[in-house]
């Protein structure tokens, strides 16, 4: 029995080292495969019932392991949609055949991906993995989404033929009015005009005029620290409103807005936010930010003993432009960029995590499926909780160390030869036993 058990042990050793050789072969073959996670074999002895008078060889069994949690190095690229995760977590992907077929979209996870837009605008890898994300609304906002379900995820599809524009919604008057202009004896005819370009709902450039003039009393004399602001929409010549602005002259609030009083028929002013909200042609709503009343924050418009300085005035919006590319920031916001310099968030790419990364099941294309051993997935915002930030222009490299694999290859070869020698020796001993009958 012991000789037969020795034969079985030798055979199990051959099988075990064959499995080890298979993982080494895969590791070396994929040493340059981006996102590849190294495989290994765990050897465990088989113990049979023993007695003090005899020993029965049990042999060895193997369990294949894949170190999915290990991170490879990062290689910079020149493609904005080459993605990797700077830390724990994986990208949500699905198969291109499922997207093209219009059926159910199975969720898979990928540590990295060299994503490119195909002829249909689908962001996919050469191996057929399609990036998935939460679609944003027309304003680029993504609401609160379910985190333990992939139902709200959609394949990232970009319309490269679209022309987009952004209507101006906010004008911030970061400007200083000269305090000397409201001192006694100052020129009552002084004017400080400001022309601000904005974009209407069709992306056409228009202009809005802001005319600052020292406030006058009944005798035509300049009033200290008081101004009259007239706002005119030059798109149609409409006077939007006239506002009496008083600046503080005392203590730490000196130079800040004390009050803003709209004239009759003017768009309203909110003393808390410091904003004037007006509606222009085409139902375009524009907010002009002056600053809060009473010296409170925020403050934008000031009156100090300096020159008239409107250089800090900013506005949002952009004219109509054509598609130029996409970009992804560290928080996973995928934005479409246009020739006008305008960018609009189209998707938010979450980062998936599971309790046991090494429990995931490997599938083709350096992707993985969630299993019972891995635990349920959770979709995090990139760079929050346990997961890392999103990295564009980067690919995670294979975790294979070729030098270490070659060392193990030599060890495995020697172990295999030794087990083969066991079988050869047992065969010779059995032959010797057979010859005893002659």
CATH number, domain of 219, equals 2.60.98.20
Q: Is residue 51 part of a domain?
A: yes
Position 4 scores a pLDDT of: 79
The answer on 418 and 338 residing in a single domain is: no
Q: Is residue 358 part of a domain?
A: yes
Mean of pLDDT values over 61-89? 94
pLDDT tens digits for 374-386?
A: 999 999 999 999 9
The answer on 255 and 307 residing in a single domain is: yes
Distance CA 12, CA 29 (A): 26
Q: When comparing pLDDT for 50 and 199, which is higher?
A: 199
The answer on 220 and 138 residing in a single domain is: no
The answer on 100 and 49 residing in a single domain is: no
Query: Can you name the residues that pair with 346 across neighbouring β-strands?
Result: none
The answer on 140 and 15 residing in a single domain is: no
Q: Is residue 20 part of a domain?
A: yes
Q: Is residue 363 part of a domain?
A: yes
The sign of the torsion formed by the CA atoms of 312, 289, 267, 260 equals negative
pLDDT tens digits for 291-305?
A: 999 999 999 999 999
Mean of pLDDT values over 146-169? 93
Distance CA 31, CA 25 (A): 10
What pTM was estimated for this model as a whole?
A: 0.80
pLDDT of 49 strictly over 80: no
Position 159 scores a pLDDT of: 92
Q: Is residue 118 part of a domain?
A: yes
pLDDT of 48 strictly over 80: no
Query: Can you name the residues that pair with 154 across neighbouring β-strands?
Result: 133
Position 1 scores a pLDDT of: 52
Of 286, 316, 346, the one marking the end of a domain is 316
The answer on 230 and 94 residing in a single domain is: no
Q: Is residue 305 part of a domain?
A: yes
The answer on 179 and 148 residing in a single domain is: no
CB neighbours of residue 257 within 10 Å: 24
pLDDT of 80 strictly over 90: yes
Position 104 scores a pLDDT of: 85
Position 431 scores a pLDDT of: 87
Mean of pLDDT values over 199-222? 93
Of 250, 281, 316, the one marking the end of a domain is 316
Residue with tokens 């195909």: 118
**Half-sphere exposure of residue 213: CA atoms within 13 angstroms, side-chain side:** 16
The answer on 413 and 391 residing in a single domain is: no
pLDDT of 400 strictly over 70: yes
The answer on 292 and 232 residing in a single domain is: yes
Distance CA 259, CA 243 (A): 10
Question: Which residues are CB-contacts of 179 (< 8 A; sequence separation ≥ 6)?
Answer: 225, 247, 255, 303, 304, 305, 306
- DSSP of 89-109: -BEEEEEHHHHHHTS----EE
- Domain count along the chain: 3
CB neighbours of residue 184 within 10 Å: 8
pLDDT of 435 strictly over 90: no
**Residue numbers of the domain that contains 272:** 168-316
Residue with tokens 């690919």: 395
Phi, psi dihedrals of residue 120, rounded to the nearest 5°: -95, 5
Mean per-residue pLDDT over the chain, rounded: 93
Query: Can you name the residues that pair with 278 across neighbouring β-strands?
Result: 286
318-328 and 163-166 beta bridge pairing:
antiparallel
Tokens of 278: 């007006």
Q: Is residue 303 part of a domain?
A: yes
Of 266, 282, 316, the one marking the end of a domain is 316
CB neighbours of residue 327 within 10 Å: 15
Q: When comparing pLDDT for 434 and 357, which is higher?
A: 357
The answer on 158 and 147 residing in a single domain is: yes
Percentage of the chain surpassing pLDDT 90? 80
**Which one, of 293, 295, 275, lies nearest residue 285 by Cα?**
275
pLDDT tens digits for 180-191?
A: 999 988 999 999
The answer on 354 and 242 residing in a single domain is: no
Q: Is residue 249 part of a domain?
A: yes
Percentage of the chain surpassing pLDDT 70? 99
The sign of the torsion formed by the CA atoms of 374, 377, 382, 384 equals negative
The answer on 280 and 187 residing in a single domain is: yes
Residue with tokens 């981006």: 34
CB neighbours of residue 22 within 10 Å: 14
């Amino acid at each position: 029995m012991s000789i037969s058990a020795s034969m079985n042990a030798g055979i199990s050793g051959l099988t075990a080292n064959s499995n080890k050789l298979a993982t080494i072969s895969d590791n070396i073959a994929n040493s340059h495969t981006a996102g590849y996670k190294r495989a290994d074999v765990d050897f465990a002895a088989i113990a049979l019932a023993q007695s003090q008078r005899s020993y029965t060889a049990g042999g060895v069994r193997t369990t294949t392991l894949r170190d999915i949690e290990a991170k490879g190095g990062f290689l910079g690229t020149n493609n904005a949609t080459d993605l990797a995760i700077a830390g724990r977590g994986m990208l949500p992907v699905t198969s291109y055949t499922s997207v093209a077929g219009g059926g159910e979209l199975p969720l898979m996870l990928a540590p990295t991906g060299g994503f490119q837009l195909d002829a249909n605008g689908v962001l996919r890898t050469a191996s057929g993995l399609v990036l998935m994300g939460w679609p944003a609304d027309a304003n680029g906002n993504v609401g609160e989404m379910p985190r333990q379900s992939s139902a709200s995820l959609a394949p990232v599809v970009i319309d490269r033929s679209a022309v987009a524009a952004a209507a101006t919604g906010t004008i911030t008057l970061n400007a200083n009015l000269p305090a000397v202009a409201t001192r006694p004896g100052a020129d009552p005819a002084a004017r400080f005009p400001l022309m601000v370009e904005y974009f209407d709902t069709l992306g056409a450039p228009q202009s809005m005029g802001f005319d600052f003039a020292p406030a006058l009393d009944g005798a035509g004399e300049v009033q200290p620290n008081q101004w009259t602001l007239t706002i005119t929409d030059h798109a149609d010549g409409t006077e939007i409103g006239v506002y009496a602005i008083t600046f503080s002259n005392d203590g730490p609030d000196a130079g800040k807005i004390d009050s803003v009083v709209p004239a009759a028929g003017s768009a309203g002013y909110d003393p808390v936010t410091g904003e004037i909200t007006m509606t222009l042609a085409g139902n375009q709503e524009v907010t002009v930010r002056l600053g809060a009343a009473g010296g409170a924050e925020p403050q934008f418009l000031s009156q100090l003993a300096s020159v008239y300085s409107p250089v800090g005035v900013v506005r949002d919006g952009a004219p109509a432009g054509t598609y130029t590319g996409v970009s992804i920031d560290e928080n996973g916001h995928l934005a479409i960029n246009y020739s006008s310099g305008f960018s609009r968030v189209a998707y938010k790419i979450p980062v998936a995590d599971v309790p046991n990364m090494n429990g995931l099941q490997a599938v083709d294309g350096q992707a993985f499926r969630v299993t019972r051993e891995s635990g349920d997935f959770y979709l995090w915002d990139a760079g929050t909780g346990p997961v890392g930030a999103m990295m564009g222009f980067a690919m995670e490299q294979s975790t294979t160390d070729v030098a270490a694999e070659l060392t193990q290859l030599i060890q495995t070869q020697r172990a295999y030869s030794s087990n083969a020698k066991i079988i050869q020796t047992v065969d010779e001993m059995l032959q010797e036993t057979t010859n005893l009958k002659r």
